[in-house]
Amino acid sequence: MSTQKASTNGIVITLHDIHKTFGEHEILKGISLEVHQGEVLAILGSSGSGKTTLLRCINALEIPASGTVSIDGQKIDYSQKHSRQDVLHLRRKTAMVFQSYNLFRNKTALQNVMEGLHVVQKKSRDEARQEARKALADVGLSEFEDRYPVQLSGGQQQRVSIARALALKPSVILFDEPTSALDPELVSDVNEAITAVAKTGVTMIIVTHEIGFARRVASQVVFVDQGRILERGTPEEVIDHPKEPRVQAFISKLSYK
């Protein structure tokens, strides 16, 4: 299962036997996976299979019922007591790009990106501004730094949110269907931005329905089905030559679109 990249780089993220229930329903039924430094993991799966929930369990926006998450030396075993501080430390190893961008709407593009640098990482305003400008340049939005979110297109907003995540230099960036809320003609800009970020060696986990994009950007693919990982491997293995019938059906259905 380990890719070539993986053998040269250390493990950044380990999930072990993650379970999550909402009320009566067990949504995640024991998920384990590892992501190496610089790797891009794509999570595929049909709607309702638990992909978003899995992603949110990684940065503790949802608290798993049991299992361990460890990111770059920060570890929480959810079967045991853990404090708010533990959660915060773990979460600060990550950054997230949401489906609906979730930019702070009362702040400009630049302020959105500066916020975490200044408030969380305690950098001076000048330093934060400098780094935020660089992140905005990386996603091609230098001219838009003084715009408020409402003054930006969906694709631009999503790129600001990628810059906001990128600027924090987290151990991993989590993407939840970053282009699914966008008009089709804006998708490629955002995908290009993500690809560019991936090339800089940032570790990423991306939930996506875009097989073609996953194929291009991912070094590892997992297919989630009803709260379990049904198949995992390289894009060639999972997307081009899936073994499980359910994965085959899913891939062929999407590829015809």
Per rule CB under 5 A, is residue 219 in the interface with Mg ion? no
Q: Return the SS3 of 127.
A: helix
Out of 19, 40, 49, 194, the residue judged to bind ligand ATP by CB under 6 A: 49
Per rule CB under 5 A, is residue 52 in the interface with Mg ion? yes
Quick one: 239 exposed, middle or buried, by C-beta within 10 A (0-12, 13-18, 19+)?
buried
Contact 29, 81 (CB under 8 A): no
Cβ closest to ligand ATP, residue 152 vs residue 224: 224
CB of 190 to Mg ion, least distance (A): 17
Binding window for ligand ATP (CB under 6 A); candidates: 43-51, 90-98, 187-195, 215-223 = 43-51
Cβ closest to other proteins, residue 96 vs residue 247: 96
Tokens describing residue 224: 């989630």
CA atoms of 194 and 189, how far apart (whole Å): 9
Q: Return the SS3 of 53.
A: helix
Longest CA span, the chain: 55
CB of 36 to other proteins, least distance (A): 23
Contact 33, 229 (CB under 8 A): yes
Q: Which residues bind other proteins (CB under 8 A)?
A: 59, 61, 84, 88, 91-92, 94-96, 98, 100, 102-108, 115-116, 119-121, 148-151, 161, 164-165, 168
Q: Which partner in ligand ATP, Mg ion, other proteins, none is near 47 (CB below 5 to 8 A by kind)? A: ligand ATP
Q: Which partner in ligand ATP, other proteins, Mg ion, none is near 22 (CB below 5 to 8 A by kind)? A: ligand ATP
Q: Which partner in ligand ATP, other proteins, Mg ion, none is near 70 (CB below 5 to 8 A by kind)? A: none
Strands, E, within 188-256: which ranges? 204-207, 220-225, 228-233
Residue 2 per-residue DSSP state: -
Per rule CB under 5 A, is residue 179 in the interface with Mg ion? no
Contact 69, 58 (CB under 8 A): yes
Per rule CB under 6 A, is residue 208 in the interface with ligand ATP? no
Question: What are the beta bridge partners of residue 61?
Answer: none
Cβ closest to ligand ATP, residue 50 vs residue 170: 50
Report the b/e string of 81-101 with b at 16+ CB within 10 A. Answer: eeeeeebebbbbbbbbbbbeb
CB of 64 to ligand ATP, least distance (A): 13
Q: Per-residue string for binding with Mg ion, 10-49, x by CB under 5 A?
A: ----------------------------------------
Tokens describing residue 110: 């630049």
Contacts with ligand ATP, residue ranges (CB under 6 A):
22, 27, 45, 47-53
